């Protein structure tokens, strides 16, 4: 494991397919999901690198595709959203079969009732499920977890997943690993998948990238299967800038 940004940069861009997480990787975490700040230079950086990589750059995020389109309106690449339960590929959006279902509606309704009982805990709804956030009241973690587990256990086809100061109920067959598998299956041999992420939800994608001959970069702390580590999103942007400015032989 190394946190040497230069060592990662030397991996080069000639044969990589770059898969980027959003929160905590490209942008700093914030008190609320809507409270994030997107650095102005990120837009041009992603567009420039997408072009340099001949399109081999995508987002793989827990956020919904529509939310990512809101924060990154000019992003030209493919977007895997809602932990792989949604995908915008070549401009066409596909969504998990549970979107719009009574199952998801019931999950959201129960989650709304649950957070109403927990002071400071908030609800983020997605068309694929619900997220119970306790960042403002860390002492509510146990109650939030119990509520999310109970709701998920009663929802066919859904599971509870742990995120940063949050518990999400989402389709059990959706994952960031599935997104990486889909990309790899389309690429010619010799292209190395590269996953950069900060959370436990990114680790399953990193495992796939490693197994396919690529590599991963973990942002921040936590156990990881990644070969590299960077301290924060500022370092990730510096890496991307380094890759963008490298001379291709």
**Catalytic residue positions, numbered:** 21
135 binds ligand L263DTV3 (CB under 6 A): yes
Report d(CA 75, CA 241) in Å as an integer.
16
Report d(CA 156, CA 106) in Å as an integer.
11
36 binds ligand L263DTV3 (CB under 6 A): yes
Which residue has the closest beta carbon to ligand L263DTV3?
62
175 binds ligand L263DTV3 (CB under 6 A): no
DSSP string computed for 91-117? TEEEE-TTTT-HHHHHHHHHHHHHHHT
165 binds ligand L263DTV3 (CB under 6 A): yes
* Binding segment (CB under 6 A) for ligand L263DTV3, from list 3-11, 38-46, 57-65, 105-113: 57-65
Residue 145 makes CB contacts below 8 A (sequence gap 6+) with 160, 162, 167
**Residue 80 or 215 having the CB closest to ligand L263DTV3:** 80
180 binds ligand L263DTV3 (CB under 6 A): no
86 binds ligand L263DTV3 (CB under 6 A): no
137 binds ligand L263DTV3 (CB under 6 A): no
**Residue 36 or 143 having the CB closest to ligand L263DTV3:** 36
> Cβ atoms within 10 A of the Cβ of 168, count?
25
Q: Per the structure block, which two tokens stand in for 59?
A: 């987002």
Report d(CA 124, CA 148) in Å as an integer.
13
Which string of b and e fits 197-226 if b means at least 16 CB within 10 Å? Answer: bbbebbbbbbbbbbebebbbbbbbeeebeb
**Residue 122 or 246 having the CB closest to ligand L263DTV3:** 122
66 binds ligand L263DTV3 (CB under 6 A): no
Report d(CA 224, CA 207) in Å as an integer.
9
63 binds ligand L263DTV3 (CB under 6 A): yes
Could you list the residues that contact ligand L263DTV3 (CB under 6 A)?
21-24, 29-33, 36, 61-63, 124, 131, 133, 135, 163-166, 168, 199, 201
């Amino acid at each position: 494991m190394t946190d040497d940004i230069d060592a990662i940069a030397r991996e080069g861009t000639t044969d990589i397919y770059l898969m980027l997480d959003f929160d905590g990787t490209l942008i700093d975490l914030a008190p609320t999901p809507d409270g994030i700040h997107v650095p102005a230079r990120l837009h041009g950086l992603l567009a420039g690198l997408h072009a340099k990589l001949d399109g081999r750059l995508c987002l793989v995020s827990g956020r919904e595709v529509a939310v990512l389109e809101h924060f990154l309106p000019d992003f030209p690449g493919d977007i895997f959203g809602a932990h792989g339960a949604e995908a915008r590929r070549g401009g066409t959006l596909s969504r998990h079969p549970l979107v719009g279902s009574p199952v998801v509606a019931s999950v959201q309704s129960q989650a709304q009732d649950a957070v109403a009982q927990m002071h400071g805990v908030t609800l983020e709804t997605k068309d694929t499920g619900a997220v119970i956030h306790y960042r403002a009241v860390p002492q509510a973690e146990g109650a939030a977890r119990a509520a999310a587990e109970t709701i998920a256990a009663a929802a066919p086809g859904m599971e509870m997943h742990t995120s940063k100061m949050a518990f999400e109920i989402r389709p059990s067959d959706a994952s960031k690993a599935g997104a990486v598998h889909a990309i790899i299956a389309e690429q010619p041999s010799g292209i190395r998948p590269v996953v950069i992420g900060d959370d436990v939800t990114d680790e399953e994608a990193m495992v796939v990238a490693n197994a396919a001959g690529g590599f991963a970069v973990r942002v921040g702390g936590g156990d990881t299967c990644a070969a590299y580590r960077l301290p924060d999103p500022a370092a990730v942007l510096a890496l991307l800038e380094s890759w963008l400015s490298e001379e291709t032989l």
